[in-house]
Structure 1
Amino acid sequence: MQDSRRILDMIKAEISPLHEALFKRYIRSLLKKHFNAIRLLGDKPDFGDRPILLLPNHSTWWDGFFIHILKIQVLKRPGYLMMLEEQLAKNRFFANVGAYSINPTSAKENIRSLNYSVELLERPDHPFVCIFPQGVLSPWGVRPLGYRRGIDIILRKLSKPVNLCQLAMKCEYLAGQRADVFFQFGKNSVFEPGNVVDVQELEQSHEHLLHEMNLRIIGGEKGRLILAGKRSINESFEILRKKLGLLRGQK
């Protein structure tokens, strides 16, 4: 009897300019509808003309969409995102906007995906490759983050310098009906071929970055506005209240 859990072939990214243009319009509208604002705390590092291995935390279903708006509004370079094979197989469209698959249940497919990540990073257009080092969705406050192996293997196989940069992301409900989304880049490191990375140290530095960002949010920092959402219900009521007040004053 054939196993229903058949291992699928790895899905590679096949970026289509048409699909990217359509997705750009769709994602702006989608995020405007569901979030109050998307903001960047601090500055974007100077990545130069080197490719970027971007490592964000993974705590919401929206994270892939957040990375795409970051690509459009901030990074402004070709981008690729590692996605679970099971999910990408159901949503092949995402391969046309830069997603590629990994199957963590198959050692062979896992290595293929890591090798493909190296291939992407060594492309001449200096792209960024986004990998969620936790591997799975996990509540924002869970510590330790639970970094998995793979980043170290990619870095060991690279034959050219690459930027290694962690990214903190958080959704926070503040005064509005919808959540604000915050980004903060960590310190950028340039890894030369042959350099060795300590995964545990990476994990700890990412936890420190998340803690720092949380303190900035608590302190009331708003940062740079990347995308403003549509008017919320409470904002609409406030406008109505002011209009009614003006009308009463005219009587």
Structure 2
Amino acid sequence: MKRHFQSFSINGEIHDKGLPILLICNHVSWWDGIWTLYANQQLFKRKYHFMMLEEELRKNWFFQYTGGFSIKKNSKSVIETFHYTAELLSDAQNLVLLFPQGKIKSIYQDNLVFEKGIEKILQRTKNDIQIIFQANLIDYFADAKAHAFFNLLHYNGSHQLKELENAYNTFYKKCLAAQAKKEV
């Protein structure tokens, strides 16, 4: 990453509660998984898992060796994936990354629409977990290489889809506003 980026900045106070972590993150590029892996290595040091579309995992098969597991939308196997994800979230040594919008979207989008799967996973989770929001943003400023900003926030609210989505969007809009004020 140092070859491709000018700097990395992790913003937000995060206190590790020793619980399994569900990391909910915007999906703006193929770098997102690497950026969240970096945040995990710096802060949480958990075993890293991430969900990706089955067709993408087939194309990028090596991700299965880095914690990637697949979901096939509109199939019966989606239930198995939800159970597997909930099972991962039963172990305090695990961090599971989900991109709730389900596909890559523009970094400038200010209203992310969550797929229903995240709520289904949370309904199957039997123990306490730590939910953390991450918003990845980049800026070039006067440099040839981008500066990467990883913004984090603990979420302690409802597991209902709309409330989770609204809370993430509020957080994301605050991150965008703060980013617009930055100077390097």
Secondary structure of the 1:64 match is helix
The alpha-carbon deviation at position 220 of structure 1 amounts to 2.4
Matching of residue 51 in structure 1 with residue 20 in structure 2:
yes
Greater gyration radius: 1
Question: SS at 1:197's partner residue?
Answer: coil
1:26-76 CA-to-partner distances (Å, cap 9, x unmatched) read xxxxx1111111111222x21311101110011112111111111222221
Question: 2:56 — aligned with what?
Answer: 87
Q: Which residue of 2 aligns with 1:133?
A: 100
CA distance in 2, matches of 1:84, 1:138: 15
SS of equivalent to 1:118: helix
Is 2:32 the counterpart of 1:63? yes
Contact 1:41-1:221 within 8 A present in 2 as well: no
2:88 corresponds to which of 106, 120, 130: 120
Gaps of 5+ in 2: none
Q: 2:141 aligns with which of 174, 185, 201?
A: 174
The one-letter amino acid paired with 1:74 is: L
Contact 1:134 1:148 in 2 (8 A): yes
Distance 2:116 2:101 in 1: 9
Greater share of helix residues, 1 or 2? Answer: 1
Task: Indicate the residue corresponding to 2:122 in structure 1.
Answer: 155
TM-score by length of 1: 0.68
* Cα distance between partner residues in 2 of 1:165 and 1:65: 17
Which piece of structure 1 moves more, 93-102 or 203-212? 203-212
1:61-99 CA distances to partner (integer Å, 9 max, x unpaired)?
211111111122222111101111111112222111111
Distance 1:78 1:157, change over 3 A: same
* TM-score, L = length of structure 2: 0.92
Q: Which amino acid aligns with 1:179?
A: A
Shift of 1:143: 4.0
Segments of structure 1 that go 5 or more residues without pairing to the other structure are 1-30, 191-195, 223-251
The one-letter code sitting in structure 2 at the alignment partner of 1:154 is I
Q: How many residues align?
A: 184
Percent of residue pairs bearing the same amino acid type: 31
Q: Structure 1 residue runs of 4+, over 4 Å off?
A: none
User: What is the distance in 1 between the residues matched to 2:16 and 2:156?
Assistant: 9
Aligned-residue Cα RMSD (Å) equals: 1.8
SS in 1 for 2:135: strand
Amino acid corresponding to residue 115 of structure 2 in structure 1: R
Distance of 1:199 and 1:60 partners within structure 2: 24
CA contact (8 A) 2:24 2:134 kept: yes
Once the two structures are TM-superposed, the CA of residue 149 in structure 1 deviates from its matched residue by 0.4
Instruction: Select the structure that is richer in strand.
Output: 2
